[in-house]
Structure 1
Amino acid sequence: MIKPRTKTPELEIELINGTTWKLSEQSPEHFTLILFYRGKHCPKCKEQLEEVQENIEKFSKRGINVIAISSDTESVAKETYKDWDINDIPLAYGFPIEEARKWGLFISSGIKKEPDFFTEPGLFLLDKEHEVYWESIQSMPFGRPSLRAILGGVDFILKENYPARGEA
């Protein structure tokens, strides 16, 4: 786990559009929202990311840049982008398991038709200095924070100038 008000590890990852996304180059108005998802095999991830897509304007209006990241291969990530309704979400692939551990993400070994190893869900809201403001890390695909709760939380944070919590 990375404590709030602490810088995250540097993150540089390939997007399915052929570009490289670098955390160090992000300069959102307020926050960067990183959604680590399990991969194409996960119906809960599809549900979550398609809900993000439906609300992408709400994130933009609040000054939040969004990215979704998995350990899937490039070809699987491109299939994901094609098959899921997530056209406005930058989609990254090939996140190394060793790097995932640095972020405090849970790692699972595959069962049935899952990849050999993959990350469990993680949500990181980073401030403009790329420090953790809010994080939610799951060990299961279930029980993720609702987007309504996230957006409502951000509204409160921005209105009240509420500080990151959990750093002590």
Structure 2
Amino acid sequence: MPTPKPIAGSTLKPMSFPRLGGGEVTVGGSKDNWTLFIVYRGKHCPRCKKYLNILNDMRAEWAAAGFDIAVVSADTVEKAAADQQEFGWDFALGYGLTEPQMAELGLFVTEPLSPTETDRRFAEPGTFVIRPDGSILLISISNGPSARPELSELLDGMIFTKQNDRPPRGTV
């Protein structure tokens, strides 16, 4: 039986990933801040790099709005470290996302087109906004690299949502 997909308003149980630089990136469970959690395809994806570069440039705006940022892929530590070094990302960067974790998050999983693309299955993009109590406010899951929430629009919407204590939508 397939793992049920997450539902807006449900609680995301804590999920941890190894973090570049040591320690872990943990999403879900109780936190002091809201969390913007992004799953990216990995080092092989140029669209991911463009998206994460925009996110990196917006770190201060997301922090000022009360959000922690967590980003993860199925990449190895070596691939994640190479990207972080090349692009200078300053957000919490996790690696080693497993297929059971992909399923728990409801992500689409892709077989590489060839060994030159990557050496393992990987998750297609996912964006989650998680409240401090661990409940999921927003879920945006794509089956390909070209469809992702526009980050400044998402931030604007999340500021409005927080200020007006709006509930999760799409729960029916």
TM-score bracket for the superposition, by shorter chain length = over 0.9
Whole-Å separation in 2 of the counterparts to 1:9 and 1:27? 12
1:142 to 122, 127, 146: 146
Call closer, same or farther: CA 1:21–1:163 in 2, change over 3 Å: same
Query: Which whole-Å CA distance do the structure 1 matches of 2:29 and 2:7 have between them?
Result: 22
Q: Counterparts of 1:140 and 1:10 in 2: how far apart (Å)?
A: 26
Q: Residues 36 and 68 of structure 1 are in contact (CA less than 8 Å); yes or no, is this contact kept in structure 2?
A: yes
Tell me, what secondary structure is at the counterpart of 1:144? Answer: coil
Q: Quick check: 101-110 or 155-164, which moved more?
A: 155-164
Percent of residue pairs bearing the same amino acid type? 26
Structure 2 residue corresponding to 1:84, chosen from 76, 87, 104? 87
Aligned length: 166
Distance 2:108 2:78 in 1: 24
For residue 103 of structure 1, the aligned residue among 93, 102, 105 is 105
Alignment of 1:65 onto 2:43: no
Aligned equivalents of 2:28 and 2:149: distance in 1? Answer: 26
1:43 aligns with 2:46: yes
- Uncovered stretches (5+) of structure 1, i.e. residues with no partner: none
How far apart, CA to CA, are the structure 2 residues paired with 1:159 and 1:24?
Answer: 22
Superposed displacement of residue 26, structure 1: 5.8
TM (normalized to structure 1)? 0.93
SS in 2 for 1:59: helix
Q: Match of 2:49, as an amino acid?
A: K
Q: CA RMSD in A?
A: 1.4
Measured in 2, the distance between the counterparts of 1:60 and 1:153 equals 15
One-letter amino acid matched to 1:166: G
Output one character per residue of 1:68-124: Cα deviation in whole Å (capped at 9) or x when no partner: 1000001111111111231x2110000101211111000000013222310000000
Give distance in 2, aligned partners of 1:25 and 1:155.
Answer: 21
| Counterpart check, 1:19 vs 2:23 | yes
Distance 1:38 1:58, change over 3 A: same
Equivalent of 2:56 in 53, 56, 65: 53
Superposition TM-score, scaled by structure 2 size: 0.91
Q: What displacement does 1:62 show? A: 0.4
